[in-house]
Chain A
Amino acid sequence: MSLQFVVDGLLTGSMIGLGAIGVTLTYSILRFSNFAHGDFMAWGTYATLAVVSAIGAMFGKVAPIGPLSFGWPLLVALVVGMAFTALLALLLDKVLFSRLRSQGQAIIVVMASFGASMALRSLLEFTFSSRPTYFSRAIQIAMPVGFGIRITPDQIALLLLTAVLVLGVHLLMTRTQTGRAMQALSQNAALARIVGIDVASVVRVTWIIGGALACVAGVMIGILVQIRPFMGFDMLLPMFAAAILGGIGSIPGAVLGGLIIGLAEAGAVQLIGAEWRAAVSFIILMAVLFVRPIGLFGVRER
């Protein structure tokens, strides 16, 4: 078995992990499994694609940065896409989730997110059709880095971007007042309110972080694989599995969980074939639920 699966696994794992951060935050702070999270991913990617094409129409063809397959337009578009996805999440919360949350029935919110997921995805399909598209059709030459492993410049850049983002979110959660407020709310909502934490602003920050990271994960998929309306929905099970494996509420856990699942998937592709890939996250999920339902870094609920 070639070691190439390590690189593939780390990349898939980064996408899963970035998405799982949003899932784990929504679960621990807003207390529901958001089935629409995958569709945030797809919407962010299509928004980024739209901005890239708009820039392309305005400035003509832009040379890519160094050996990468994309130039500055993608970077600008990614920032716009992240903002767009965060806004989309905030809007959906305002119109739908916050109203249902105020009725105090957690599972109704999950159901609504399931409905919203279907509607969002089909709206993408309606607008862009189900045909896959790409950011760039250029083929990159993978560089050998030893041990039979090859990696493309895009892949290196995306791994670095993931590391920076994860570090940033971790610092935000541990070093800033907002981050501490988020942790307090996830650990004990009632007590957090009593000490005067501004719940509404914490909820907003949760959606902004979750949405923006979902967009980055989606764009990564778009650069490395392809863009389809179903791209996010297919990531839903791996993201949930990563969040539960890492321990609900833990951001390092979500990222580590994502990497483990990514590596397991890539290994499974080599061992038993790509067609069974999607079953890997289910098997890991079931194993975690049976053996250690609080996950790797989870805390038992009080």
Chain B
Amino acid sequence: MDLLGYGAFFLTTALIFSLVTLGLNLQWGLTGLFNVGLAGFVAIGAYTSALLTTPDDAARLGGFGLPILVGWLGAMVVGGIAAALTGMATLRLKSDYLAITTFGVAVVVQLVALNAQKLTGGPFGIGFIPRPFGSLAETPLLFNLSNLAVVCAVTLVVFFALEHLSRSPWGRVLKALREDERAAISLGKSARFYRIQAFAVGGAIMALAGALQAHFTGFIAPDNYLPILTFQVWVMLIVGGSGSNLGAVIGSILVWGIWAGSGTLTSVLFAPEQQARAASLQIVAIGVMLCVILLIRPNGLFGDRLRRPRLGKRAKVATAKSSYGS
């Protein structure tokens, strides 16, 4: 019984991660947009939904007590807008600038979460976030299973929506832009506009994942959204294989399994005062794993094929550079 409960809990967390990974796959796998600040968009979603749905709190602004579904929608809207703004600022520039800007977005979101106490509760976070099926909390197993069902349903909806999108004309334009920007532009597609759309939709999905997580745990604090979150999700996507939605989901479950498993292992093997050190060793291992996979199997488990770099300025650079390796 306990095992079943833990299994449900584990899967719920893994599926919430897989939602973030799916959003990242739309941005990177499909469109080739490099987002290293996704923790920021997840945080935006979590805080937005928390503000909309928590009961009124005298210490904070807001606490509107709205239904959970409104919170989720709000999270997606705000997350999407934030991503669109980031994209607008940088997507006409070289792709590395997007990486640096998204990194900055994550830093700023973290700062706001930590310092704008009136809005976010500062370092104390926001508690009493309403949980779906909160009435079932008395029986943990039932509570975990019903949460798992909700997260499963949302993941499935997003998964099939993304599968549909990537096969739709819209998705084909994105792939065309990724593979051969000049050809796509010569067919009359605005590269920048499509990229901003893809970035916004991806950001909205990440924000939704943040909101789901917030309502699942009932409490959020700035520490949940450190760069390590970005890093974990990237490893999940690379292991699963960027470009494949199925890979994104399976990679998330697999990597979260490894992460949680090695966490349990270190807590068994190391004395309590050594736990912090063991945790940093865990991050080293995952970091090395990411680099090794990039070196020996850049397509991951389910990636379709070797991706070509974006054409234009990048391609000239890439061809000139291909001889640097020696």
Residues of A within 8 A of B (CB): 27, 30-33, 35, 96, 98-108, 110-112, 114-120, 122-123, 125-126, 129-130, 189-190, 193, 199-200, 203, 233, 236-237, 240-241, 244, 275-276, 278-279, 281-282, 285-286, 289-290, 293, 301
Contact = CB atoms under 8 A, between A and B. Distances in A.
DSSP class of B's interface residues: helix, strand, loop or mixed? helix
A200 B234 CA distance: 31
A106 to B, nearest CB: 6
B34 A122 contact: no
Given A129-B276, A290-B89, A96 B291 contact: yes
Given A112-B290, A126-B284, A278-B111, 5 more contacts: A33-B100, A107-B34, A115-B235, A285-B100, A285-B104
Contacts of A117: 287
Given A122-B287, A282-B108, A104 B322 contact: yes
A105 B307 contact: yes
Contact of A116 (B238, B291, B313, B319): B291
A35 B104 CA distance: 12
Nearest to A29: B324
Contacts of B97: 244, 289, 293
Contact of A237 (B104, B295, B316, B320): B104
Interface in B238-288: 238, 276-277, 280-284, 286-288
A119 B96 contact: no
Contact of B324 (A96, A101, A107, A286): A101
A243 B82 CA distance: 25
Nearest to B283: A122
Contacts of B317: 31, 106, 189
DSSP class of A's interface residues: helix, strand, loop or mixed? helix
Contacts of B286: 118-119
Contact of A106 (B111, B280, B321): B321
A39 to B, nearest CB: 11
A117 B326 CA distance: 23
Contact of A289 (B34, B89, B307, B313): B89
Given A106-B317, A129-B276, A193 B294 contact: no
A119 B283 contact: yes
Interface residues of B, number: 56
Nearest to B92: A293
A235 to B, nearest CB: 12
Interface string B94-118: 0111011101110110010011000
Contacts of A129: 276-277
Contact of B294 (A104, A108, A290): A108
B294 A111 contact: yes
Contacts of A35: 36, 99, 103
Most buried by B among A32, A107, A125, A241: A107
B238 A189 contact: no
Nearest to B97: A289
